[in-house]
Structure formats: structure tokens, C-alpha cells
Amino acid sequence: MSLADKYFIENCRDIIEHGSWDTNSEVRPRWEDGTPAHTVKKFCVVNRYNLQEEFPVMTLRRIYYRSAIEEILWIYQKKSNRVADLSTHIWDSWADENGTIGKAYGWQLGQKSIYPEGEFDQVDKVLYDLSHNPASRRIMTNMYNHKDLHEMGLAPCAYSMTFNVTGDTLNAILNQRSQDMLTANNWNVCQYAALLIMFAKASGLKAGELVHVIADAHIYDRHIDAVKRIIEKEPYPAPEMVVEDITDFYKFTKNSFTLKDYKYHDFDEKIEVAI
């Protein structure tokens, strides 16, 4: 069984059986028909994935991991806010009249600041420190910029990464303020695991632990039945992830990653997304 499957089953069962409903609260998200999209949630879910043991992809349903990796490259490598720079259309509903998501996600990472070592954007400062100052406890990115929130199509959900080097191993903590468990949980895990691998390879390090901290882990009311059907399936063994031997972070593509023997359960249900 993939560890990603194990965590997904445990987390979702805990949320459904012991979570708190916001049915009596005013909520921002809406379904396509305008109905409030309520959730059942748990506060502060923490999962740890050791990338030296396996790549954390679910088998309970198919995860389009290359699309997930393309999105993280759009954010961290292209530092883009233009939805046309993605081949998928997952961000289209958040785009403005100019086809951007405003000063969100990749735009924030691309803004440069002055440091004692010179001028860097957030991504290049991480890469510099991993190579030149790996003992630092200040290697991190943060996209939750309060002064720009009013100009963002969506306030960042997965908003910060804290990197920590131990010996020859790169570990990281992903902080996420909010997560839709059905549509985004393993998607985010896969893409940030891939990001950790890319930063490690670009810095001559091994990829170690990815710790995923979710402040508000929730399941939407219209997703409950689908989640129940998914977690009753019998998981397959974790597949092997093969990554091209690339040492320049900016040379990675979504096709640099290939899952070998990836077996998964079909899940063809149309899932409504709350906006």
C-alpha cells in the first residue's frame, strides 16, 4: 500500500467520523448553482513522507502527476501568473480580464529582494542558500503577502515551504492554510514532493522528508459519498518514480518524471468543484 493511500484513508475517515461541520456558518465558496458549499473539517492534519522510501502518489484513484508537476513548475520555475502558460485549465475560473490570477503564487516568487549576497527572487535565493549556506535555518519561500491579497485571484492555499538540510539530505515542510481533500490532497503532495526532489538534485543533495501541515483539512458536503467510495478500495503497492539526472533546476520539465508500474483504480465520476 502506498503511504499516500494510507494517509488519505486515515485522514478522510477521521474527518468524516470526527470532524466539525460548518453548516450553520456563512461560507465563501459556492457550487455552480449558487448553493453554499459547506464542509466537514479537522484542524491541523500533519503527514510525513520519506521520499527515500517511496514517491507519495495515491493508487486509490489516478493522479495525473505530470499535470501536478507542470503546475508547480508554472509557479516555481516560470514564476508565472498567466493561465495560458499552463496546458491544463484548472486556473481558468480564477483568471481576470487579462488572463492572469493577479499578484498570486508564481508572481510573488518572482519578485526580487536585496540580500547581503545580492539581489534574488525567492526561488533563486533558496537555490543559492542550498549550495552556499546549507546550514542556514532561513531557507524558505512564502507566497502569502498580506499587502497584495486584494490583487490576488485566490489567496494562496499551499503558501510556504521551509527547507532544512541535515547532512547530505534536504527536508522540507509544506504549510497549507486550507485543503479540499478530494480534489487537491494528493495533487499537492505529489507536486511538492517533486519540487523537493528538483531542489535536492540542483543542490547536490538527497531528497528526504516532506512534512505536510494542513491547517484546515476539509471534505465538501457534495464530495462525501465519492470520498467514501474511494477509501473502500484496496490500494495497490506504491510505484517507483524515475527522475532524469538533471542538476539545473530550470532544465526540469514535467516529462523529467516517470512513474514505473503505476497501478491505480479508475475513478470516472465527474466531481463538482466549489468556487
Residues making up the binding site: 137-138, 177-180, 188, 218-220, 274
| Residue among 68, 111, 112 nearest 90 (CA) | 68
Whether 190 is a known active-site residue: answer no
| Binding residue numbers for dUMP | 137-138, 177-180, 188, 218-220
Bridge partners (DSSP) of residue 102 are 152
| Residue among 143, 205, 144, 217 nearest 172 (CA) | 205
- Out of 12, 44, 157, 190, pick the active-site residue: 157
HSE-CB at 245 with a 13 A cutoff on CA atoms is: 0
| Calpha distance 15→170 (Å, rounded) | 31
| Calpha distance 110→121 (Å, rounded) | 5
| Calpha distance 140→109 (Å, rounded) | 11
Quick one: CA dihedral 4, 175, 197, 70, positive or negative? positive
Going from the C-alpha of 192 to that of each of 18, 271, 273, the distances in angstroms are: 28, 23, 22
Q: Active-site residue numbers?
A: 157
